[in-house]
Amino acid sequence: MSKFWSPSVQELKPYIPGEQPRTRLIKLNTNENPYPPAPGVERVLREYPIDHLRLYPDPDASALRDALAREYNVQPEQVFLGNGSDEVLAFAFQAFFRHDKPLLMPEITYSFYPVYCQLYAIEAQRVALDDQWRVQLDAFDSDNGGIIFANPNAPTGHGYSRAAIAELLSHHTERVVLVDEAYADFGGESAVGLVDTCPNLLVTGTFSKSRSLAGLRIGYAIGSRELIEGLDRVKNSFNSYPLDSLAIAAGVAALEDRAHFKACCEAVITTRERTRRGLEQLDFEVLPSQANFLFVRPRSMSALEVFSELRERGILVRHFNTDILHDFLRISIGTDDEMDTLLETLDTLINVTPH
């Protein structure tokens, strides 16, 4: 607390990001990609003309916007870019969700959404998941100030088909429905194909997970021109240049290498399924996942205990200390070697601990 802070800032409960250790650990706690970015990204960064850094970047990041438009088969005017999808989400909350009615979201979802609600004084209404930890799409009230959820959802990993999202949109046409596709490249189905027929659908995505560029901060949104214009209004009232020149150039290079992208996503998926079987053999409950992480419940030790014991042995996973989630861990998918180390470590832990 400080007398210098605005009253609303005294009240904020900021998002707590997963820890970023300085020492070498096996880091399975923030869903980063274990594989390097496309080789073209390195080339672009090495060869970037340093003198260009004197100049401001393109405020519209047009080169990257055009490349994303081609990738998703939409018009460039249907694409918005921001400094990571967290920033894109912040702009979207400001642009679309500040209504009298509450914003609807699943009770369990990306924990940044309620933080933005507090920042922008938006009332959030949480809708319980079903008994299989799935978002209940048909439980969203028709009377709302907007709807937001991640698909696949985090930290559960369950995702809905495009047809299910289309069905949801057929019941909600008056306010924005935001589908956060941070994890869609790991086996989910993108709803981008619906943006031409659903002017209130905004799909967000990120280069942080499937394109191995969390450190560069590139996020995007795809929707109708109307929605993109709303985002532009907020962005241009806040920061004209959310993407720096290096991020724009490197982002284009990342998109160009389809083969690398596909190979990395497939490797993550294969390792995920192998890890899933390994964890099940160690008596973990493992939820089906379409993302680059597994949401798991150890049956023979408490989740917090497993978290702490792993941490002591140099392996970081994510534990959420909330009433609903405290029995579970979220484990990001690393390389095969990292996951083998995890499974071997768990095997010794679970064998030596009496239960």
Ligand X SMILES: *Cc1c(COP(=O)(O)O)cnc(C)c1O
Touching ligand X, residues 102-121 (CB under 6 A): 110
Give Cα 255 to chain centroid, integer Å. Answer: 18
Single out the residue of 57, 84, 102, 334 in contact with ligand X (rule: CB under 6 A).
84
Query: In angstroms, what CA-CA distances link 258 with 39, 173, 234?
Result: 11, 34, 32
| Binding span for ligand X by CB under 6 A among 68-76, 81-89, 164-172, 244-252 | 81-89
In eight-state DSSP terms, residue 38 is P
Residues 155/108, Cβ–Cβ less than 8 Å: yes
Look at the block and give the residue holding tokens 């979220």: 330
| Binding span for ligand X by CB under 6 A among 20-28, 80-88, 269-277, 324-332 | 80-88
Residue number, 61 or 150, with CB nearest to ligand X: 150
- CB of 86: closest distance to ligand X in angstroms? 3
Single out the residue of 78, 94, 151, 206 in contact with ligand X (rule: CB under 6 A).
206
Opening angle at CA 313, ends 309 and 317, nearest 5: 65
- CB of 156: closest distance to ligand X in angstroms? 11
Closest CA to 262 of 251, 250, 274, 254: 254
Is 32 among the residues that bind ligand X (CB under 6 A)?
A: no
Task: Tell me how long the chain is.
Answer: 355
- CB of 202: closest distance to ligand X in angstroms? 13
Look at the block and give the residue holding tokens 């709807």: 147
Is 182 among the residues that bind ligand X (CB under 6 A)?
A: yes
Look at the block and give the residue holding tokens 């280069």: 207
What string of DSSP letters covers 182-233?
TTGGGT----GGGTTT-TTEEEEEESSSTTS-TTT--EEEE--HHHHHHHHH
| Binding span for ligand X by CB under 6 A among 65-73, 206-214, 221-229, 298-306 | 206-214
C-alpha count within 13 angstroms, C-beta hemisphere, residue 179: 30
Residue number, 164 or 301, with CB nearest to ligand X: 164
What string of DSSP letters covers 98-156?
-SSSPEEEESSS-THHHHHHHHTT--EEEE---TTS---GGGS-SS-S-EEEESS-TTT
Single out the residue of 69, 166, 214, 282 in contact with ligand X (rule: CB under 6 A).
214
Is 202 among the residues that bind ligand X (CB under 6 A)?
A: no
- CB of 243: closest distance to ligand X in angstroms? 12
Backbone angles phi, psi at 64, to 5 degrees: -75, -35
Residue number, 25 or 214, with CB nearest to ligand X: 214
Is 180 among the residues that bind ligand X (CB under 6 A)?
A: yes
Is 212 among the residues that bind ligand X (CB under 6 A)?
A: no
Both tokens of 209, joined, read 């997970």
| Binding span for ligand X by CB under 6 A among 14-22, 61-69, 79-87, 250-258 | 79-87
Is 220 among the residues that bind ligand X (CB under 6 A)?
A: no
Q: Number of residues in contact with ligand X, rule: CB under 6 A? A: 12
- CB of 31: closest distance to ligand X in angstroms? 6
Site string for ligand X, 114-153 (x = CB under 6 A): ------------------------------------x---
CA–CA separation, 204 vs 71, rounded Å? 14
Enumerate binding residues for ligand X (CB under 6 A).
84-86, 110, 150, 154, 180, 182, 206, 208, 214, 219
